[in-house]
């Protein structure tokens, strides 16, 4: 011991940096480690994490869930009315929304506005006053899209007369998932707008556009979605907030098939024009494809792989493969980004939408390295986009070789979020997203970057630890 202290010592300081400063002032040499306790210092969360680390049964479960995710082949097979695809919508006055469950009185403005618009679209009420009275009298009920294997961007509203994309996983008993159609930008239902213009567009989409897309698929046959997404990643998309390339690739398949149909020429032209004017048209298909891949990974006992991340404008919710359909929620984080002229952070709703299913599947914010131009929309620099993709490698089970990033020497996108790594490394999943105005009907006011809240992951691990130790 005397010999040890007769040598010059270097101290590794884990904790307050001021401890290292005191050692330096006394003539010693200290290295201040950038260390924080896991789980943001949550004692029970830290204990749950410790119980779930280095457990062979958990590693095996995660490998199983990851393999199911990687093997999935999401394929666009049909267009159906929501009431036909999801019978519960036809049996009752039920409306689906984005994110985890939430009561009407707790909803943010855009979701409430979108629900009222859906009620008008369904002709359950003649005006907004009557529509709100129906809701307050309990005559309309609400559930998350995810409870019915569906996803929708922003407010995520799905009601019985809306058309849905039908996506099957051809490697998993052709299990189906659903997503609504993308309305484009501006005053649209998903941002809470519910004017006559919005309802008129929804009526056209539910009739002429739906007929055109269904007829197109009869001509083209099933369309595999992973190849489109993979190619789009090499063309500057990240298939969440930027879908210009993916929509163009889809158009290459849509147009020849539509021209073969017997539909009136004017209807075909209007459908093609609508898609061409909407670079976000592929977003809803990207979301459905990601939902399909992650559905394959659900319900693997003991797995800590995240299979859902979703937001309702108030709370952020996640689900783990190993805990089934249980939601773990925390207040949604604000979005940091770029605002349209005349708007600022004080106007914004909290994080909103099911579109974080793309990040859950390893694209979107996880694939920003493939889309340096996205920073012009969400903020930051191309270097930030690349660093975000690299950072996500530290919280995932592996990569998806189907989706590669040219800027990272064609490395696979980080995929398979491991809740343990999030809590242990204190690195939160990155999400790039649109920003909705907090008031219904105003619409999109910007776009930016946000993260999932840590508490969701801490609570999920605590529940899984309790479940395993019963």
Confidence of residue 276 (pLDDT cuts 50, 70, 90): very high
Confidence of residue 159 (pLDDT cuts 50, 70, 90): very high
Are the beta carbons of 463 and 326 closer than 8 angstroms? yes
Give the model's pLDDT for residue 376. Answer: 80
How many C-beta atoms surround the C-beta of residue 468 within 10 A?
16
What element of type H or E holds 77? strand 74-81
Percent of the chain with pLDDT over 90: 77
Q: What is the mean pLDDT of the segment spanning 327-343? A: 91
CB-count burial class (<10 Å; 0-12, 13-18, 19+) for 386: middle
* pTM (two decimals): 0.92
The answer on pLDDT for 248 being more than 80 is yes
Closest CA to 119 of 189, 210, 182: 189
What element of type H or E holds 168? strand 163-169
> Tens digit of pLDDT for each residue in 387-414?
999 999 999 999 999 999 999 999 999 9
The answer on pLDDT for 164 being more than 90 is yes
Q: How far apart are the first and last CA of the chain?
A: 47
Give the model's pLDDT for residue 255. Answer: 96
* Beta bridge pairs of residue 180: 164
The answer on pLDDT for 27 being more than 80 is no
What element of type H or E holds 455? helix 454-468
Two tokens, residue 393: 């490698």
> Tens digit of pLDDT for each residue in 194-240?
999 999 999 999 999 999 999 999 999 999 999 999 999 999 999 99
Mutual orientation of helices 196-204 and 109-121 as an angle, nearest 10°? 60
Give the model's pLDDT for residue 381. Answer: 86
The rounded mean pLDDT for the chain is 93
Mutual orientation of helices 265-276 and 244-260 as an angle, nearest 10°? 170
Confidence of residue 440 (pLDDT cuts 50, 70, 90): confident
CA 152 to chain centre: 9
Give the model's pLDDT for residue 9. Answer: 65
Two tokens, residue 164: 């849905």
Q: What is the mean pLDDT of the segment spanning 116-129? A: 97
Give the model's pLDDT for residue 55. Answer: 93
Confidence of residue 7 (pLDDT cuts 50, 70, 90): low
> Tens digit of pLDDT for each residue in 65-109?
999 999 999 999 999 999 999 999 999 999 999 999 999 999 999
Distance CA 94, CA 113 (A): 16
Confidence of residue 375 (pLDDT cuts 50, 70, 90): confident
Q: What is the mean pLDDT of the segment spanning 99-126? A: 97
Confidence of residue 377 (pLDDT cuts 50, 70, 90): confident
Q: How many residues can be counted in the chain? A: 470
Give the model's pLDDT for residue 105. Answer: 96
Domains by residue range for the chain, with CATH: 2-35 (no CATH), 43-69+298-468 (3.90.1700.10), 71-288 (3.90.1710.10)
Give the model's pLDDT for residue 22. Answer: 74
Give the model's pLDDT for residue 5. Answer: 60
In which order are the strands placed within the sheet that holds 430-436?
336-339, 444-451, 430-436
Distance CA 352, CA 332 (A): 8
> What is the secondary structure of 361-375 as a DSSP string?
TT-GGGGGGG-GGGH
The answer on pLDDT for 172 being more than 90 is no
Percent of the chain with pLDDT over 70: 95
Selected residue with higher pLDDT from 425 and 444: 425
The answer on pLDDT for 378 being more than 90 is no
Give the model's pLDDT for residue 4. Answer: 56
Give the model's pLDDT for residue 33. Answer: 62
The answer on pLDDT for 14 being more than 70 is no
Give the model's pLDDT for residue 31. Answer: 76
Distances (CA, A) of 40 to 50, 182, 189, 370, 390: 14, 38, 38, 31, 22
Closest CA to 430 of 400, 392, 404: 392
Confidence of residue 38 (pLDDT cuts 50, 70, 90): confident
Distance CA 239, CA 370 (A): 10
The answer on pLDDT for 322 being more than 90 is yes
The torsion angles phi and psi of 371, rounded to 5 degrees, stand at -135, 65
Confidence of residue 3 (pLDDT cuts 50, 70, 90): low
Q: What is the mean pLDDT of the segment spanning 11-36? A: 69
Confidence of residue 297 (pLDDT cuts 50, 70, 90): very high
How many C-beta atoms surround the C-beta of residue 415 within 10 A?
28
Give the model's pLDDT for residue 434. Answer: 86
Buried b (16+ CB within 10 A) or exposed e, 337-371: bebeeeeeeebbbbbbbbbbbbbbbbbbbbbbbbb
Alpha carbon dihedral 399, 403, 406, 409, in 10-degree steps, equals 30
């Amino acid at each position: 011991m005397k010999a040890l202290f007769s040598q010059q010592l270097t101290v590794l300081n884990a904790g307050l940096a001021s401890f290292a400063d005191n050692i330096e002032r006394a003539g010693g040499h200290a290295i201040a480690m950038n260390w924080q306790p896991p789980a943001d210092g949550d004692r029970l969360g830290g204990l749950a994490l410790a119980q779930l680390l280095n457990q062979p049964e958990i590693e095996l479960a995660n490998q199983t869930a990851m393999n199911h995710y990687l093997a999935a082949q999401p394929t666009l097979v049909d267009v159906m009315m929501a009431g036909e695809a999801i019978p519960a919508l036809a049996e009752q006055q039920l409306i689906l929304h984005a994110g985890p469950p939430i009561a009407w009185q707790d909803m943010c403005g855009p979701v409430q506005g979108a629900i009222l618009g859906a009620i008008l679209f369904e002709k359950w009420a003649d005006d907004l006053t009557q529509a709100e009275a129906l809701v307050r009298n309990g005559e309309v009920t609400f559930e998350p899209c995810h409870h019915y294997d569906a996803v929708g961007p922003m407010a995520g509203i799905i009601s019985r007369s809306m058309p849905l994309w039908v996506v099957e996983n051809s490697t998993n008993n052709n299990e189906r998932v659903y997503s609504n159609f993308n309305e484009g930008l501006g005053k649209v239902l998903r941002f809470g707008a519910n004017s006559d213009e919005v309802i008129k567009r929804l009526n056209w989409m539910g009739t002429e556009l739906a007929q055109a897309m269904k007829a197109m698929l009869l001509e083209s046959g099933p369309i595999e979605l992973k190849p489109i997404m993979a190619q789009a990643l090499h063309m500057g998309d990240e298939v969440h907030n930027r879908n210009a390339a993916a929509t163009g690739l889809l158009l290459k398949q849509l147009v020849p098939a539509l021209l073969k149909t017997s539909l009136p020429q004017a209807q075909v032209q209007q459908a093609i024009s609508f898609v061409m004017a909407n670079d976000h048209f592929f977003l809803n298909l990207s979301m459905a494809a990601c939902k399909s891949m992650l559905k394959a990974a659900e319900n693997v006992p003991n797995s800590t792989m995240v299979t859902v991340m979703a937001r309702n404008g108030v709370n952020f919710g996640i689900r783990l493969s190993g805990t089934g359909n249980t939601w773990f929620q925390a207040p949604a984080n604000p979005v940091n980004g770029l605002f349209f002229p005349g708007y600022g952070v004080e106007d914004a709703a909290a994080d909103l939408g099911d579109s974080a299913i793309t990040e859950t599947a390893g694209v979107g914010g996880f694939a920003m390295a493939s889309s340096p131009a996205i920073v012009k929309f969400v903020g930051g620099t191309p270097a930030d986009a690349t660093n975000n993709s690299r950072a996500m490698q530290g919280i995932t089970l592996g990569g998806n070789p189907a989706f590669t990033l040219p800027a990272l020497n064609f490395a696979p996108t980080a995929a398979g979020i491991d809740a343990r790594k999030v809590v242990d490394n204190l690195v939160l999943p990155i999400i790039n997203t649109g920003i909705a105005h907090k008031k219904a009907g105003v619409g999109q006011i910007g776009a930016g970057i946000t993260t999932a809240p840590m508490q969701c992951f801490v609570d999920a691990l605590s529940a899984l630890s309790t479940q395993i130790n019963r």
